[in-house]
Chain A
Amino acid sequence: MYPKWLWPVFAIPGVVWLLLLFLVPFYAVIGVAFGGVDPIFQSPVPAWNPLQWNFDSALNTLQGFLPGREYWQVFLRTTEYVAISLVSCLLIGYPVAYYISRHAKRTKGILLVLLILPFWVSYLMRMLAWVNLFSPDGYVDKFLIWSGIAPQPPDWLNGNPVSVILGLIYGYIPYLILPLLSALDRIDKSLLEAARDLGASPSRAFFHVTLPLSKTGILGASVIIALPMYGDYYTPNIISGSPRTSMLGNQIDIFFHGGPQPSVGAALTLFLSVFLGVLMIYYMVTIAKAQKEIPS
């Protein structure tokens, strides 16, 4: 009933936009990373023609990721933080999502609202709140002293990796719970009932039915927060301005904001994208498949 040309025409403005402002900029990163250097201004001259790509400087930068070299420690540290934060987010977030989707009846609405609320509060503000709480004269330290748990509370905001990880968890967990929730919501309840009817105990039903069915949801939600977390540089900067806790994003930030080596920054960005690219592609393929599966 609609003319054949209608839908492509609808799609074109958006596609052109994304091509110009998403794909081309990414190509600009590649161009700068593999480009040359202006002899006078020492500024990068992007190489647009693939035949003119110069891989030396980029390879040099990449070699910095080998064990013992300059980016190895940062890379390791970032991976560590992301891994610990991700697992902790899952350990906390999954039960919450599970509870809301499966069990909460009367309170489902309120809990949902409370759950969504942090999503609407700016990430930076939540970090601000976190930093205020953990200041030397803030409530956390006051509580620790008053309750006697830690009469000499640790210095939270000075290069303490624990606070950075806690901050990452606190900051990113809402972005995990929401997709997880909708994925769990979509699990067909009749399957669970069938399992119960067949005599499975609640825990067996959980481990053998719910958990496997929620695997794609878990993976999807994990990817949603792991990828941005890898490139995060502002969280460690806010919580602790110390080199001890700096992440890969901080390195990229340094090389761009005020340095004659944007090509190094571009190469680092490329490396980050490729490294995360595997996850990105996996996620996109899964999403694309899931979208197709939704009955139209």
Chain B
Amino acid sequence: MTAIAVGPGPAQRSALARARAWIANPWGRARFLVIISWAYAISSILPVIIAIQFSFNSGRSVSAWQGFSLTRWYWGDPTNSVWHDPTLQSALFQSLKLAGLDMAIATPLGVMLALGLARWRGYGSGASNFLMLFPLVTPEIVMGVSLYLVFLYLFTFIHPSTAAQVLGHVTFSLSYVVVIIRGRLFSIGRQYEEAAADLGATPWETLRLVLLPLLMPAIFSSLMIVFAISIDDFVISQWLSCGGACDTIPIRIYSATRGAPLPSVNALAAIMVYFTLAALVSAYFLFRYLTRGERPAAGHGGATSMVGDMGAF
């Protein structure tokens, strides 16, 4: 975008005039957009950063800074730190356990479902497609209530427990996996498989050696997404919880915030953030590696194509 210069040449304009010209740029909208975008981006991250900051608070307050203490709430405090408080640890492990099981079950199931729905042309394909989309738009409380009731009155052999929570998590994660994989499927197209068939590969070989590797980046994205939404889930985990042993991090944060929270809760949440960041960063590099053959020349493909996959709905 070229700025139409007004008045004397740039070298002769005072700083104030230049600033004014910058703001009064005819492409005013762009400046306004820049400001809003950066303001939004920063303001959405800032509270989280401050919450992480308070996990290093030396005192017990979660809102008033009382000095820096690196380890007090992580492992220093002998009763309340994450390392020493069994409830916080159990929440951490429960969250990770649920996320792991969710990833392990929802991803293969979802990949198969995606392949099936994308290519199935026959009776029931439309209805199945509809059914698959439903969880995406169902409010969580409706899903939580319905699962709670069904385990209480119909499937009574399943008690509120980790198993019930996993079942709930997989149910709402499936749709996300399907949508991501399907998006990728559509962008790949059938050409490679047809080429493989032409070259004499059997259907299983085509699936295994052509389709699956091509789908890897999307499978990867869906693993990450399932991880994120499982860690984040509150409503379903709470409704299907068996009590203290089944509490996840969001549930613990919720109870703590309604009572008298200590910075150890901030520390717990911060640990999840570090973990997620590490996973994201390694995912990013892995993703770049996996799609190294496909990146467009523009160069910023990695992040955007990952986003594109994820935003496919």
Residue in B113, B139, B231, B311 whose beta carbon sits within 8 Å of that of A11 in the complex: B113
User: CA separation between A111 and B112, bound complex, in Å?
Assistant: 34
Mask of A107-133 contacts with B, CB within 8 angstroms, 1/0: 011011111111111111111111111
User: CA separation between A204 and B48, bound complex, in Å?
Assistant: 39
Mask of A239-257 contacts with B, CB within 8 angstroms, 1/0: 0010000000100110010
Q: Which of A100, A132, A269 has most chain B Cβ within 10 Å? A: A132
Judge if B19 is at the interface, Cβ distance under 8 Å.
no
Say yes or no: B40 contacts A96, CB within 8 Å.
yes
Say yes or no: B203 contacts A14, CB within 8 Å.
no
Question: Looking at chain A's contact residues, is the secondary structure mostly helix, strand, loop, or mixed?
Answer: helix
Judge if B145 is at the interface, Cβ distance under 8 Å.
yes
User: CA separation between A118 and B47, bound complex, in Å?
Assistant: 10
Say yes or no: A10 contacts B115, CB within 8 Å.
yes
Say yes or no: A128 contacts B45, CB within 8 Å.
no
Say yes or no: B48 contacts A125, CB within 8 Å.
yes
Q: Measured between C-beta atoms, what is the minimum distance from A196 to chain B in Å?
A: 12
Say yes or no: A18 contacts B311, CB within 8 Å.
no
Interface size on B, residues (CB 8 A): 108
Query: Which residues on A sit within 8 Å (CB–CB) of B137?
Result: 223-224, 227, 279-280, 283-284
Judge if B292 is at the interface, Cβ distance under 8 Å.
no
Residue in A17, A136, A249 whose beta carbon sits within 8 Å of that of B141 in the complex: A249
Judge if A54 is at the interface, Cβ distance under 8 Å.
no
A residues 1-59 near B (Cβ < 8 Å) are 1-3, 6-15, 17-19, 21-26, 28-29, 31-32, 44, 46
Residue in A32, A108, A228 whose beta carbon sits within 8 Å of that of B304 in the complex: A108
User: CA separation between A26 and B148, bound complex, in Å?
Assistant: 10
Residue in A108, A280, A287 whose beta carbon sits within 8 Å of that of B313 in the complex: A287
Judge if A276 is at the interface, Cβ distance under 8 Å.
yes
Residue in A10, A185, A283 whose beta carbon sits within 8 Å of that of B116 in the complex: A10
Say yes or no: A96 contacts B37, CB within 8 Å.
yes
Judge if A161 is at the interface, Cβ distance under 8 Å.
no
Residue in B45, B64, B235, B253 whose beta carbon sits within 8 Å of that of A125 in the complex: B253
Q: Measured between C-beta atoms, what is the minimum distance from B229 to chain A in Å?
A: 10
For this complex, into which size category does the number of interface residues on chain A fall? 35 or more
Across the interface, name the chain A residue whose C-beta is closest to B207: A2
User: CA separation between A265 and B144, bound complex, in Å?
Assistant: 12
Q: Measured between C-beta atoms, what is the minimum distance from B142 to chain A in Å?
A: 5
Residue in A103, A118, A170 whose beta carbon sits within 8 Å of that of B30 in the complex: A103
Judge if B41 is at the interface, Cβ distance under 8 Å.
yes
Query: Which residues on B sit within 8 Å (CB–CB) of A249?
Result: 139, 141
Which one, A65-73, A144-152, A174-182, is touching chain B?
Answer: A174-182
- With A125-B272, A280-B137 known, 18 other A-B pairs at CB within 8 A are A10-B112, A15-B116, A24-B154, A25-B150, A92-B36, A96-B37, A99-B34, A115-B41, A122-B250, A124-B234, A124-B249, A178-B310, A185-B304, A228-B140, A276-B139, A280-B134, A288-B130, A295-B186
A–B pairs, 28, beta carbons within 8 Å: A8-B116, A10-B113, A10-B116, A15-B132, A17-B109, A18-B174, A21-B147, A21-B150, A96-B40, A103-B30, A103-B33, A109-B302, A116-B307, A119-B228, A120-B280, A122-B232, A127-B257, A129-B48, A132-B47, A133-B47, A135-B63, A170-B44, A174-B44, A178-B310, A231-B139, A252-B141, A253-B141, A273-B138
